Amino acid sequence: MSAVEREGAVLFKGNPATLLGPDVKAGDAAPDFKVVDNGLQPVTLATDAGKVRLITVVPSLDTPVCDTMTRRFNLDAANLPDSVVVYTISVDLPFAQKRWCGSAGIDKVQTLSDYQERSFGLNYGLLLKDLKLLARAVYVIDQNDKVAYAEVCSEVTAEPDYTAALEAVKKLV
């Protein structure tokens, strides 16, 4: 079964791009996924069950906007309670993610890689068909695995609404 194609769902550097997978919105049940952490251990929706999950999604940590976004959420994460986990998901290899986090001083955000199965990208409708990278997005998943907030950036190279995402988290804790 092939994934739903959403032509022109986002722009990439001003050009329409096709996303594969459903358009996940606030109020939906959070789709499951299987990604790996920097030690190649699997992480799924159930890994941090019962916690609020702030999931930020980037094409690659080695690009300027992704770097800025992840550093910003790392700073914001320092002010969140332990009942909140912050993930940044990309298709970067786990080894590259670990190296980047070390050089950037990232210690509050857990980087996760969707390089193996692209299940996060496909299940959340974020896989850029032609590039096989993930589109930029932010999700807040509540303690009951429901999507409380969803933002897919209309231009992949643009930053998300940090304030709105953090407000959505604060409403749940």
Which residues have a catalytic role annotated? 66
Per-residue tokens: 3: 């994934």
Torsion 111-167-81-139 (CA) sign:
negative
Of 127, 135, 143, the C-alpha closest to 160 is 135
Q: At what angle do helices 162-170 and 64-77 cross, to 10 degrees?
A: 30
Rounded distance between C-alpha atoms, residue 128 and residue 15, angstroms: 12
Rounded distance between C-alpha atoms, residue 119 and residue 172, angstroms: 26
Of 117, 123, 106, 120, the C-alpha closest to 58 is 120
